[in-house]
Structures are given as C-alpha cells and as structure tokens.
Amino acid sequence: MQPNLMRAAAVTLVLGAALTACSGGQDGLDYQTDYANHRPLRVTGHPSTGSLETVQKVVWRLADGDADGLAALNTEGDDAGPAARAWVRAYGTAARAEVTADFLDEGSVRQEVVLHFSGPRRTQELTVRIAEGDTWGIVLDDPAPRPDTE
C-alpha cells in the first residue's frame, strides 16, 4: 500500500473511532439525529443534563406523533399508553412549532417543568425525575391543557 493511502486509512480509522466514542453509542446517535431533525427547544431556568434531555425527548415524541416512545419515558410503571396517546392528541401538532420549557427549582433528581406551546398558546406542567436504573423519565399523567398566561 502506498504511504499516502496508509496515512489516509489511519486517519479515517482514528476519526471514526473518535466519533463513535463521542456519540455515546446508539443512544447518542439517536439523540443527535433527533436533535438535528427537530426545532430547537427554548429553555428558561436551570435544567440538569438529564432533565433537559428528557424534556427534549418528550417534545420530539409529541412532534413525531410517537405515543409509544412517549409512553416509554414514563417512570411510574403503569400502562402509560392511554395517557401518551392523549398527550399526542393534545400537543402533537403544537410540538412541531416553537416550544419553550420553563425549568423550575433545582433539578438534580426531580424537576417541575412548564411547557409553553406557541401554536395554540397552551401550557402543560410535567414532572421529570430519575427512575430505576438512574435513568431520567417523566410522570406521565393525563394532559390538562391550560391557556398560556404569557
């Protein structure tokens, strides 16, 4: 093999390994793809890394009409399918427009968040928290849309 081709192959191998390490595996790749395919989430307050990622996933699942993906974020262990489908009906279209998340209080293990949907000008409160296995999720109750007060 020619020296230039060997160097190019080595650089490609090193860059590929570095990108794989940075992506965090398939979950990291899925997150990057979701991030690139959706509108940015506007944020106020002080989210933790886990609470921010979880709220972004909630908004993305709503925007995609993915009730199963939303139900998978539930931390309560019960059948979240009906509540997730109700959330998608209530906010699916609105989640494709601009959404602001107000992160209240401190978010090391649990945080209250208020979502403001700009399309229908409605708000929805939710709780994000650490569940079993130290993964973040949400308490998925039936939605209770309220007119936005802003």
User: 90-148 pLDDT, tens per residue?
Assistant: 999 999 999 999 999 888 999 999 999 987 788 999 999 998 888 999 999 888 877 76
Domain with residue 140: its CATH number is: 3.10.450
Average pLDDT over residues 52-62: 96
Taking only the tens place, the pLDDT of each residue in 34-44 is 888 888 999 99
Structure tokens at 101: 């998340």
Q: Does 55 share its domain with 6? A: no
Number of domains composing the chain = 2
Q: Does 82 share its domain with 25? A: no
Q: Does 82 share its domain with 132? A: yes
> Which pLDDT value is given to residue 13?
36
Q: Does 33 share its domain with 73? A: no
Q: Does 49 share its domain with 104? A: yes
Q: Does 80 share its domain with 128? A: yes
Is 1 a residue whose pLDDT tops 90?
Answer: no
> Which pLDDT value is given to residue 10?
39
**Which residues does 23 contact at the CB level (< 8 Å), separation at least 6?**
29, 32
Residue range of the domain that includes 110 = 41-147
Is 22 a residue whose pLDDT tops 50?
Answer: no
Q: Does 50 share its domain with 89? A: yes
Q: Does 20 share its domain with 48? A: no
Nearest to 71 by CA among 131, 125, 140: 140
Report strand pairing: 99-104 vs 42-45.
parallel
Q: Does 88 share its domain with 137? A: yes
CA distances from 66 to 58, 62, 72, 86, 93 (A): 10, 6, 10, 11, 12
